[in-house]
């Protein structure tokens, strides 16, 4: 039986990336407590949340047919985890801290199927140019930052802040495509790419 792919995320960015890669999937929105545990490292936190989301999704999917994919992303400035700011004031505070500095983006991806589970964490380093108060204010006024970890969207207007990137662009967006394709390949899933009209 052909396995069906379930994306355990409501993130439109992850859905866009997975669709771009050539995968067909359904969407399931798992409810997971995202609170950090005492003494938990950022690496352990992001991977644990990704695993919990995948496990929650596989519970509600047909066991014999389902491959569940989940991911989680956090932004680290030094040892401080930057979550979703939710409003302009907190967005401005985060962006002021990121201005002219490098930060890390940790994205965990998990694939579970047939009682197997595979998970990994991709770390990328992003460096921002110096941001003026006017630039921060104008960006925050767009509202783009409110629901983004670290208060910016690299694929959106916030991309103009990025001076350099070491690592995976798609991971910073929320889903590392190279690693995701490799994990889905272990589950027997390959992308469906359109063929050229002259291809026999």
CATH number of the domain bearing residue 22: 3.90.950.10
Number of independent structural domains in the chain: 1
> Please, which pLDDT band fits residue 200 given cuts at 50, 70 and 90?
low
Does residue 28 or residue 96 have the better pLDDT? 96
- Indicate whether 191 belongs to any domain: no
Across 45-64, average pLDDT: 84
Q: How confident is the model at residue 57 (pLDDT cuts 50, 70, 90)?
A: confident
Is 72 marked active-site? yes
Task: Given the residues 33, 60, 72, 138, select the one marked as catalytic.
Answer: 72
Q: Is residue 194 part of a domain?
A: no
CA pair distance 166, 38, nearest whole angstrom: 30
What pLDDT is attached to residue 155? 95
Asked whether residue 132 is assigned to any structural domain, the reply reads yes
Percent of the chain with pLDDT strictly greater than 70:
94
| Residue 106: domain span | 4-186
pLDDT, tens digit (0-9, with 9 covering 90-100), for 97-149: 999 999 999 999 999 998 899 999 999 999 999 999 999 999 999 999 999 99
- Tokens representing residue 29 in the block: 């929105």
pLDDT interval class at 35 (50, 70, 90): confident
3-state SS record for the chain = CCCEEEECCCCHHHHHHHHHCCCCCEECCCCCCCCCCCCCCHHHHHHHHHHHHHHHHHHCCCCCCEEEEEEEEEEEECCEEECCCCCHHHHHHHHHHHCCCEEEEEEEEEEEECCEEEEEEEEEEEEECCCCHHHHHHHHCCCCCCCCHHHCCCCCHHHHHEEEEECCHHHHHCCCHHHHHHHHHHCCCCCCCCCCCCCC
pLDDT value of residue 65: 59
- Looking at residue 110, its pLDDT comes to 97
Q: Report yes or no on 53 lying in a domain.
A: yes
Residue 199 counted as domain residue: no
């Amino acid at each position: 039986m052909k396995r069906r792919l379930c994306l355990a995320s409501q993130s439109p960015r992850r859905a866009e990336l997975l669709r771009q890669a050539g995968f067909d999937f359904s969407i399931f929105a798992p409810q997971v407590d995202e609170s950090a545990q005492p003494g938990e490292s950022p690496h352990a936190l992001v991977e644990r949340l990704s695993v919990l989301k995948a496990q929650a999704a596989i519970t509600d999917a047909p066991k014999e047919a389902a491959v569940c994919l989940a991911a989680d992303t956090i932004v680290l400035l030094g040892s401080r985890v930057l979550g979703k700011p939710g409003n302009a004031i907190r967005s401005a505070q985060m962006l002021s801290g990121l201005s002219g500095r490098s930060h890390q983006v940790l994205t965990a991806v998990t694939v579970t199927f047939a009682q197997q589970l595979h998970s990994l964490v991709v770390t990328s380093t992003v460096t921002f140019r110096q941001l003026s108060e006017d630039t921060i204010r104008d960006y925050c006024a767009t509202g783009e930052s409110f629901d983004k970890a670290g208060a910016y969207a690299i694929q959106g207007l916030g991309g103009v802040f990025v001076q350099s990137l070491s690592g995976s662009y798609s991971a910073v967006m929320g889903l590392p495509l190279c690693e995701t394709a490799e994990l889905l390949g272990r589950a027997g899933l390959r992308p469906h790419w359109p063929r050229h009209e002259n291809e026999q």
